Amino acid sequence: MKDSDHQLRPIGVVRSSLTSLEGCPKQGPEGAPEAWLEIDPAFSEALDGLFAEQEIIVLTWLDKGRRDLLRVHPRGNPEAPLKGVFATRSPHRPNPIGLHRVEIVEIDKPGRIRVRPLEALDGTPVIDIKPALLNES
């Protein structure tokens, strides 16, 4: 398989008050702010059916992540033993895809969705949105 067989096309971008890796929470519930998802107008029709208070999964391309690391100290703690990146939520990985479970706060206009909490930096490319599955007992 050639690399050219697999292409990602961002559908939008994150607009957030988070601007540096150092100030970014490790997980959403650890103090991440609300943020806006600005979706490219070419994909606005795909947002039909989303609504406020719905939980969604936002997939991002962690463009500031390193792609050459295969082992990291979990949560950036140098005292923790090294683990393979596939056993962690590290943004540094061969394909730096971020997975964020968030709640829709509002849909401002077609293509602009406010969500919370989102631990992604301002300018992070959004590559997909999916509804979160409900936990059924």
| Backbone φ, ψ for residue 118 (5° rounding) | -130, 120
pLDDT in tens, 2-14: 656 678 899 999 9
Mean pLDDT of the chain: 89
* Domains in the chain: ranges and CATH: 10-131 (2.40.30.70)
pTM across the whole model: 0.87
Q: For residue 101, is pLDDT > 80?
A: yes
**Could you tell me the pLDDT band of residue 18, with boundaries at 50, 70 and 90?**
confident
On the 0-12 / 13-18 / 19+ scale of CB atoms within 10 A, 38 is: middle
Residue 109 near residue 3, CB atoms below 8 Å: no
For CA atoms 119, 33, 46, 130, give the dihedral sign.
Answer: positive
E-strand stretches of the chain: 12-15, 35-39, 55-61, 71-72, 83-84, 97-109, 112-116, 125-131
Q: For residue 27, is pLDDT > 80?
A: no
